[in-house]
């Protein structure tokens, strides 16, 4: 089997090959490393790596599979971890100059679960500074380019994860999502990103434990790989009061969905968010594929309230708690987006906060009433085709100027307010020839039903040439016209403590 064919395999297929002893974790890791070495300079998706540790882990996993005693369901599978998420002994910078030498002493609980299941923590994936915004660029690692055109954004804040998946560097990656941070990059890079209901994956490091707009989630190339990873990641933690007790095997075998029984609602703009006309037209074309296959397909009114102001307040609240004191002490160590969010929060009152939490409750109740009529609602994930990575964000959409850097993410963040699940599925290309992502939204705690419906849609779309998952051609991908690392002002601190993890982290890949 060629290296390209091997790397194109899904995580489920790779693990099946381990079990059948037709492929070893060591051989698969070597193929991933060769792909990263060859193509990461073109897209800059990978940040820190632990090559030596991964090689040792793969060798141990190879022996376990040969002995018929794998450590867990992901034994020997190399994965990428978003650089906002702590990894024990492996550089975790958060894309911030304040943390460019930070080596955590423990894993984020999500990472610990993946490691306990046998996953090999090979790499950290690039992010915007402290996860702020939909463009994965920072002063430590530089920018991540899209694997379909390195001059364009990969999205954010899980842009490095999405690009690494699309480039076949890794079979699974972690993400997180407040206002679309895993759904948006997945859509722009042609992979699958899943935002679970707020109670599914424990997030005990959240600064505001009772605020559920930020969740952790899996990213992959297929829905089956998403459920494989989700079944490992589901968890409950006393320090996250929003999580519910996990059920072993909850996502291992989903109930099948027959599209002929599915009631589908649709919206082009999630209650009036600006969307480019070309994206609307692509979305309508996808609806025409779906409509004949389902029981019902009709417009859903998603004008649920003042969703933008509600999100602004909840986001500013969390940014103020997380970064407000540090910004006041050392403003020069933060970029404009972080300072903008903190400053926005300082203009708000206790009355604003109370209104936002009450409005979020009203939004949820309206959404619940709407979902009595539908099983899922579909809409575009991104309002625009990928734009130049040198632009911090989409400033104008369909003639409307965005008033803040994350407003272009409204198709995603409005859904975050319900606390429920949503997934973005690769669904062909848009009018510009870039990946188009179809967002599918489900009811709060309706994760199994949403994932089952998404699987049925994935099968439908994969059987049609114009809606199947697009594949990046890295062989023909030119380097970005502007060096992706040209914005680096504070490169990784290669001082004491990094020697044991392939100290030259950039040249290592």
How confident is the model at residue 495, as a pLDDT? 53
Read off the pTM. Answer: 0.97
Residue 230 is predicted with a pLDDT of 98
Across residues 170-181, what is the average pLDDT? 98
Query: Using 50, 70 and 90 to split pLDDT, how confident is the model at 326?
Result: very high
Q: 376 — phi, psi (to 5°)? A: -145, 160
Give the model confidence (pLDDT) of 454-480 as tens digits.
999 999 999 999 999 999 999 999 999
Span 117-127, average pLDDT: 98
Q: Is the pLDDT of residue 496 over 50?
A: no
Return the closest-CA partner of residue 115 out of 266, 220, 229, 224: 229
pLDDT at 506 over 80: no
Ordered by where they begin, the domains of the chain are 3-252+260-470+483-501 (3.90.1300.10)
pLDDT for 238 beyond 70: yes
Is residue 503's pLDDT more than 50?
A: no
Residue 494's pLDDT band (cuts 50, 70, 90): low
CA atoms within 13 A on the CB side of 404: 21
- CA–CA dist 189, 199 (Å, integer): 27
Task: Kindly report the average pLDDT of the chain as a whole number.
Answer: 95
The confidence band for 1, taking pLDDT boundaries of 50, 70 and 90, is: confident
Q: What distance in Å separates the CA atoms of residue 224 and residue 230, rounded to the nearest whole number? A: 10
Q: Map tokens 């897209």 to a residue.
A: 43
Nearest Cα residue to 447 out of 416, 413, 417, 421: 421
Span 268-282, average pLDDT: 98
What is residue 226's predicted lDDT score, i.e. its pLDDT? 98
> Looking at residues 330-357, what average pLDDT do you find?
95
CA 81 to chain centre: 10
Separation CA 333–CA 100 (nearest Å): 12
Axis-axis angle for helices 307-329, 336-346 (nearest 10): 110
% residues pLDDT > 90 (the chain): 95
429-453 pLDDT tens trace: 999 999 999 999 999 999 999 999 9
**25 or 496, greater pLDDT:** 25
With 70 as the cut, is the pLDDT of residue 383 above it?
A: yes
* Tokens of residue 413, six digits: 């963040």
Query: Which tokens hold the place of 201?
Result: 């994956």
Cα–Cα dist 315/392, whole Å: 19
Does the pLDDT at position 498 exceed 80?
Answer: no
Six token digits for residue 352: 């604003």
Helix (H) or strand (E) holding 294: none
Nearest to 216 by CA among 114, 139, 106: 114
Q: Residues 508, 156, 285, CA angle at the centre, nearest 5°?
A: 120
Label residue 509 by pLDDT band (50, 70, 90).
very low
> Which whole number is the average pLDDT over 497-507?
36
377: its two tokens: 């609602």
Q: What percent of the chain has pLDDT over 70?
A: 97
Residue 499 has pLDDT above 50, yes or no: no
Mean pLDDT over 249-256 rounds to 93
Looking at residue 105, what is its pLDDT?
A: 98
């Amino acid at each position: 089997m060629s290296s390209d064919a091997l790397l194109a395999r899904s995580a489920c297929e790779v693990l099946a090959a381990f079990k059948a002893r037709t492929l070893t974790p060591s051989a698969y890791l070597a193929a991933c490393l060769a792909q990263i070495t060859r193509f990461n300079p073109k897209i800059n998706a990978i940040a820190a790596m632990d090559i030596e540790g991964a090689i040792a882990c793969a060798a141990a996993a190879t022996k376990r599979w040969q002995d018929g005693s794998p450590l867990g369901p992901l034994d020997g599978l190399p994965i990428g971890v978003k650089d906002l998420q702590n990894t024990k002994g492996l550089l975790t910078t958060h894309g911030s100059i304040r943390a460019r030498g930070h080596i955590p002493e423990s894993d984020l609980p999500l990472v610990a679960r993946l490691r306990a299941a046998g996953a090999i923590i090979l790499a950290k994936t690039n992010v915007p500074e402290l996860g702020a915004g939909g463009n994965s660029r920072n002063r430590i690692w530089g920018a991540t380019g899209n694997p379909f055109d390195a001059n364009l954004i990969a999205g954010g804040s899980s842009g490095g994860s999405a690009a690494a998946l699309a480039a076949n560097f890794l079979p699974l990656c972690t993400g997180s999502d407040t206002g679309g941070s895993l759904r948006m990059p997945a859509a722009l890079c042609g992979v699958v990103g899943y935002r679970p209901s707020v109670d599914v994956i424990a997030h005990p490091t959240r600064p505001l434990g009772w605020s559920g707009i930020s969740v952790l989630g899996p990213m992959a190339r297929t829905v089956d790989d998403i459920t494989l990873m989700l079944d490992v990641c589901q968890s409950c933690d006393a320090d996250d009061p929003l999580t519910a007790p996990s059920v072993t095997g909850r996502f291992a075998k989903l109930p099948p969905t027959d599209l002929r029984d599915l009631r589908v609602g649709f919206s082009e703009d999630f209650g009036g968010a600006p969307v480019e006309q070309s994206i609307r037209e692509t979305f309508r074309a996808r609806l025409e594929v779906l409509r004949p296959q389902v029981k019902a397909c009709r417009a859903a009114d998603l004008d649920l309230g003042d969703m933008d102001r509600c999100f602004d307040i909840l986001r500013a609240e969390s940014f103020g708690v997380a970064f407000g004191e540090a910004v006041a002490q050392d403003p020069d160590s933060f970029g404009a987006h972080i300072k903008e969010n903190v400053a926005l929060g300082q203009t708000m009152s206790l009355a604003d906060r109370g209104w936002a939490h009450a409005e979020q409750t009203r939004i949820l109740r309206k959404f619940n009433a709407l979902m009595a009529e539908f099983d899922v609602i579909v809409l575009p994930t991104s309002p625009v085709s990928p734009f130049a990575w040198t632009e911090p964000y989409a400033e104008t959409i369909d003639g409307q100027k965005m008033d803040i850097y994350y407003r272009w993410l409204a198709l995603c963040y409005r859904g975050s307010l319900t606390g429920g699940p949503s997934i973005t599925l690769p669904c062909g290309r848009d009018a510009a020839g870039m990946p188009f992502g179809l967002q599918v939204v489900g009811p709060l705690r309706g994760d199994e039903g949403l994932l089952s419906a998404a699987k049925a849609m994935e099968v439908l779309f994969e059987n049609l040439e114009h809606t199947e998952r697009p594949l990046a051609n890295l062989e023909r991908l030119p380097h970005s016209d502007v060096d992706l690392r040209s914005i680096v002002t504070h490169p990784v601190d290669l001082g004491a403590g990094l020697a044991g993890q392939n100290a030259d982290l950039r040249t290592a890949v």
